[in-house]
A and B are shown apart, each in its own frame.
Chain A
Amino acid sequence: MSEAPRSGPHQVLLALYALFALAAGARSLVQLTTRYDEAPVAYWLSLAAAATYALGWWAIRQASSGHTGFASVMLWIELAGVLTVGTVSLLVPDWFPDASVWSDYGIGYGFVPAALPVAGLVWLRRQRRSPA
Chain B
Amino acid sequence: MPSVSTQITWIVVGYAALVVVLAVMVAVRRGERPAWLDQMAWMLELLLVVRALVGLSAFRGDGPDSVSTYVGYLLASVCVLPIAIRSVEGDRAPWSSAVLAVAALAVGVIAVRLEMTG
Contact = CB atoms under 8 A, between A and B. Distances in A.
Q: Do A and B come from one complex?
A: yes
Interface string B67-98: 01100100010001000100110110111101
The 5 closest A-B pairs by CB, nearest first: A7-B93, A15-B102, A12-B98, A30-B68, A26-B72
A130 interface: no
A12 B87 CA distance: 11
Interface string A2-25: 001001110110011001001100
Interface of A: 1, 4, 7-9, 11-12, 15-16, 19, 22-23, 26, 30, 33-34
Given A26-B72, A34-B68, A4 B87 contact: no
A34 B117 CA distance: 15
Q: Is the interface of A mostly helix, strand, loop or mixed?
A: helix
Given A11-B88, A11-B99, A26-B76, 8 more contacts: A7-B95, A8-B95, A9-B95, A11-B95, A11-B98, A12-B98, A12-B102, A23-B76
B72 A12 contact: no
Contacts of B99: 11-12, 15
B39 interface: no
Q: Is the interface of B mostly helix, strand, loop or mixed?
A: helix
B48 to A, nearest CB: 15
Contacts of A15: 84, 87, 99, 102-103
A12 B106 contact: no
A7 B27 CA distance: 12
A4 B84 contact: no
Contacts of B95: 7-9, 11-12
B66 interface: yes
Contact of A30 (B69, B84, B87, B90): B69
A22 B102 CA distance: 14
